[in-house]
């Protein structure tokens, strides 16, 4: 039995997406910038995808969608694209629970003289809008906060944050990679200026994402070249992946009405099944939460010795042996296991920061998978963490 529960890492491409990708590779492989029939046929595919993605987030203008290689590039384009508009470094605000595509970019900007404020979060991972209000300075030009946190599932009060930004005349970007296609997004209602999304998180294929740039917002390109994507992202577009993103976006929009309550029910059932397990504590916000996202920290590490400690990675490996794919929250850089910066920012200890696990659900997951996973996970935890009791005869 194989159960994939890592839909926040990537999703299996849908059949409809694969069919579209195959068709383009076979018959519509022209360069969309070419003026001849082959090129123009492909250009039409590109524009259809642009319309499909714009519709997913209710963007008023299809030209506000700039295709990129994925969420990472969209996030980089948002931050660098705004920063490059200024000759003198300014002030940027991000949260302390950003994906590294934002936090590392902010760090690089800081090294180039930009002032960067990193907003704190509460124990559930939520930014307090009052903190944002107080952090805005006369030279603040951009605020970027993640929409749905990938590691702990928490959803930020994006409309409130965007409203504060707009009332101060500051641009607002959100990394919506975990939200787009999973929850309805209306960029106009939310008052968002820039938004990142990614195709492979919504059953598209890897290699395509998009940055929404509200009409009137000026950004600079990162790449010099042929001037594709309104001059904001040079390079021949990855049309098969982009068309796949378009198909995935349209399907996601049409299926959300039943997929959100279905996933929410499975998510809550998994949390419920794990409540009697003494070794796990749920992380993230239970109310403001991605519908497909379940996460915990290990609360009972077996040993103070770092070499022997049971970490989130241990659980990932054990579950993998049982045919179940999940992920750990902590990052492993150059062989050294580091506590998750997200859990640390939320107030967890360094030890707890090594014990994050995340189980993310998707279209193919059914109730039996959840029940089986809960049973196997409990068995693994009991085996690894239950104290041994020696009975003297």
Ligand X SMILES: Cc1ncc(COP(=O)(O)O)c(C=O)c1O
| Residue ranges that bind ligand X, judged by CB under 6 A | 70-72, 75, 99, 101, 146, 150, 175, 177-178, 198, 200, 209
What's the length of the chain? Answer: 393
Closest CA to 265 of 352, 332, 192, 361: 361
Closest CB to ligand X among 212 and 279?
A: 212
Closest CB to ligand X among 233 and 301?
A: 233
Closest CB to ligand X among 119 and 376?
A: 119
Output the six-digit token pair for 289.
């939460």
Shortest Cβ contact with ligand X: which residue?
71
Catalytic residue among 332, 366, 367, 375: 332
Whether 38 and 30 have beta carbons less than 8 Å apart is answered as yes
Closest CB to ligand X among 20 and 99?
A: 99
Whether 266 and 365 have beta carbons less than 8 Å apart is answered as yes
Place of tokens 């946190």: 149
Output the six-digit token pair for 36.
């001849």
Whether 67 and 210 have beta carbons less than 8 Å apart is answered as yes
Q: How far is the CB of 197 from ligand X (least distance, A)?
A: 9
Closest CB to ligand X among 3 and 74?
A: 74
- Name the phi and psi angles at 351, rounded to 5: -65, -45
3-state secondary structure of 315: helix
358: which strand partners? 295, 327
Q: How far is the CB of 198 from ligand X (least distance, A)?
A: 3
Closest CB to ligand X among 94 and 177?
A: 177
Q: How far is the CB of 306 from ligand X (least distance, A)?
A: 27
Burial class (CB in 10 A: 0-12, 13-18, 19+), 152: buried
Q: How far is the CB of 308 from ligand X (least distance, A)?
A: 30
Whether 181 and 161 have beta carbons less than 8 Å apart is answered as no
Nearest-5° Cα angle at 204, 179 to 148: 10
Confirm whether 277 is a catalytic residue: no
Residues 6 or more apart in contact with residue 391 via CB below 8 angstroms: none
Q: How far is the CB of 18 from ligand X (least distance, A)?
A: 18
Q: How far is the CB of 148 from ligand X (least distance, A)?
A: 7
Torsion of CA 31, 250, 185, 262, to 10 degrees: -140
Instruction: Please measure the distance between the N-terminal and C-terminal CA atoms of the chain and give it in whole angstroms.
Output: 42
Closest CA to 315 of 297, 333, 332: 297
> Which residues belong to the active site?
332
């Amino acid at each position: 039995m194989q159960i994939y529960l890592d839909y926040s890492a990537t999703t299996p491409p849908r059949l409809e997406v694969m069919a579209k990708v195959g068709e383009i590779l076979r018959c519509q492989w022209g360069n969309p910038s070419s003026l001849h029939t082959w090129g123009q046929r492909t250009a039409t595919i590109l524009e259809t995808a642009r319309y499909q993605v714009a519709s997913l987030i209710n963007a008023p203008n299809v030209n506000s969608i700039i295709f990129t290689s994925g969420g990472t590039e969209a996030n980089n384009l948002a931050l660098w694209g705004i920063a490059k508009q200024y000759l003198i470094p300014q002030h940027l605000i991000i949260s302390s629970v950003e994906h590294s595509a934002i936090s590392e970019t902010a760090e690089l900007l800081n090294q180039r003289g930009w002032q960067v404020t990193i907003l704190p979060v509460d124990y559930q991972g939520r930014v307090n809008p009052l903190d944002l209000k107080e952090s805005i300075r006369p030279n603040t030009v951009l605020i970027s906060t993640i929409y749905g946190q990938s590691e702990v599932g928490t959803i930020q009060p994006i409309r409130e944050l965007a409203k504060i930004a707009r009332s101060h005349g500051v641009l607002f970007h959100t990394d919506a990679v975990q939200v787009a296609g999973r929850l309805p997004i209306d960029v106009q209602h939310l008052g968002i200026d820039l938004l990142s999304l990614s195709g492979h998180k919504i059953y598209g294929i890897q290699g395509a994402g998009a940055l929404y740039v509200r009409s009137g917002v000026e950004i600079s390109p990162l790449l010099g070249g042929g001037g594709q994507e309104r001059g904001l992202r040079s390079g021949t577009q990855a049309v098969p992946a982009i068309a796949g993103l378009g198909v995935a976006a349209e399907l996601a929009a049409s299926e959300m009405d039943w997929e959100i309550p279905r996933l929410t029910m499975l998510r809550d059932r998994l949390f419920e099944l794990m409540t009697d397990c003494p070794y796990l504590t749920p992380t993230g916000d239970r109310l403001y939460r991605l519908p497909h996202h379940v996460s915990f920290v290990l609360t009972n590490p077996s040993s103070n010795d770092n070499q022997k400690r049971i970490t989130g990675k241990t659980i990932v490996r054990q579950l993998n042996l049982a045919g179940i794919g999940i992920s750990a929250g902590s990052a492993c850089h150059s062989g050294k296991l580091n506590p998750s910066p997200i859990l640390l920012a939320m107030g967890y200890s360094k030890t707890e920061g090594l014990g994050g696990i995340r189980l993310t659900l998707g279209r193919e997951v059914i109730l039996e998978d959840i029940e089986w996973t809960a049973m196997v996970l409990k068995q693994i935890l009991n085996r690894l963490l239950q104290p041994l009791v020696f009975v003297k005869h």
